[in-house]
Amino acid sequence: MKTCSNPLCPLTQALTVIGGKWKPVIIYQLYRSSKRFGQLDVAIPGISRKVLTSQLNELLSDQLISRQAYNESPPRVEYQLTDKGKELIPIFSSIADWGGYLVEEYKLDLAKG
C-alpha cells in the first residue's frame, strides 16, 4: 500500500478525523447510548479530563458527535453519535474482529512460552 501524507489522500483524511488513542474509545462508548461528560470520564480509565474535553471538541467539530445541553439546574449536557459517527460502527466492528484475532494469536504465543 502506498503511503500518503497528502491532505487530499482519503486515508490521511480518515485517520486525521478518527485517529489517536482516545477517539475510537469515545465513539465506542457513545455507540449504545448518549453519555454525560462524567459518565465518559468514568467509562474511559486513563484519559485526563483535559484530553477528554479536547477530543470531544474535535469530534464535535468533525460532526461525528453532537452535544445536547438541557436547560436544567444544575445544567446537564449529553453527547451522542451523529449519523456520520454511526457510519463508523461497522468499520470499528471489523477492526475489533481483527483485534480479537490478534489477541488470540498473542495468547497462543504466550502459551508456547
pTM reported for the whole predicted model:
0.83
Could you read off the pLDDT tens digit of each residue along the chain, which spans 113 residues?
555 667 788 888 898 899 889 999 999 999 989 999 999 999 999 999 999 999 999 999 999 999 999 998 888 999 999 999 999 999 999 999 999 999 999 888 888 87
Q: How far is CA 2 from the centre of its chain?
A: 26
Q: What pLDDT is attached to residue 97?
A: 94
Q: How far is CA 81 from the centre of its chain?
A: 10
Q: What pLDDT is attached to residue 2?
A: 57
Q: What pLDDT is attached to residue 112?
A: 86
Residue 55: other Cβ atoms inside 10 A: 21
Q: What pLDDT is attached to residue 3?
A: 59
The 3-state DSSP class for residue 46 equals: coil
Residue 6: other Cβ atoms inside 10 A: 10
Q: How far is CA 8 from CA 2, 14, 48, in A?
A: 14, 10, 32
Domain range annotation of the chain: 10-112
Q: How many CA atoms lie within 13 A of 100 on its CB side?
A: 6
CATH for 10-112? 1.10.10.10
